[in-house]
Amino acid sequence: MPTELIICNACGTKNASHRGICLKCGVSLSVKESPGKIEDLGSIVSRFVEARVDRAQPDEVDLWCEAVYASLFSVAFEVVIRLSSAKGSLDALERETNTVIETTCGHAAPWVNARLTEDTRRSVGASVQWNIAPEMRNRMLQYFNVAYDAIGDRGYEPQVARSHACFVVLKAVISSH
């Protein structure tokens, strides 16, 4: 008896219909791409990364934040390039990219802020309030812009452009430290 397959909306991988999450990317298979559900993708991206990121070391907060931004971008980029609603026009791509960035940052900023607050309290003995959301939005947009430029200007395939964007931005950040 053949197994019924469903296709992941985020990465396109075929999965057995009984699976709750994609075997390849870990995104929920219950979220369907439809109006009103695009906003749910930001939550999924945030939860996926949050489950895989450890806490920052006290002397490496900037690099830890950048690794989080790169991770969020990497997962969000995979989602955006597979959205049928992002295909067809530059306006649609920009709209969906902005929606995924905004919703991802909206969901990710609280847990990033909480981890940074905990780490600061442990290392200096005082609680410092963080608001990383504006920086997170700007940095994710920077990653997306580098990736889209690599696709448009250099003809890179999306996977190569995603890696290129991570390399370019992370190299610049590490070089500045």
What pLDDT is recorded for position 169? 93
At position 33, the amino acid (one-letter code) is E
Domain boundaries, the chain: 1-30, 32-175
Q: Which of 129, 26, 131, 120 is nearest to 79 (CA)?
A: 26
Over the stretch 56-89, which tens digit does the pLDDT of each residue have?
A: 776 778 888 899 999 999 999 999 998 988 888 9
Residue 34 has pLDDT above 60, yes or no: no
Mean pLDDT of the chain: 82
Report the Cα–Cα distance between both ends of the chain, in Å, rounded. 58
What pLDDT is recorded for position 25? 62
Over the stretch 98-126, which tens digit does the pLDDT of each residue have?
A: 999 999 999 999 888 888 877 555 555 66
Residue 31 has pLDDT above 60, yes or no: no
Over the stretch 87-98, which tens digit does the pLDDT of each residue have?
A: 889 999 999 999
Residue 35 has pLDDT above 50, yes or no: no
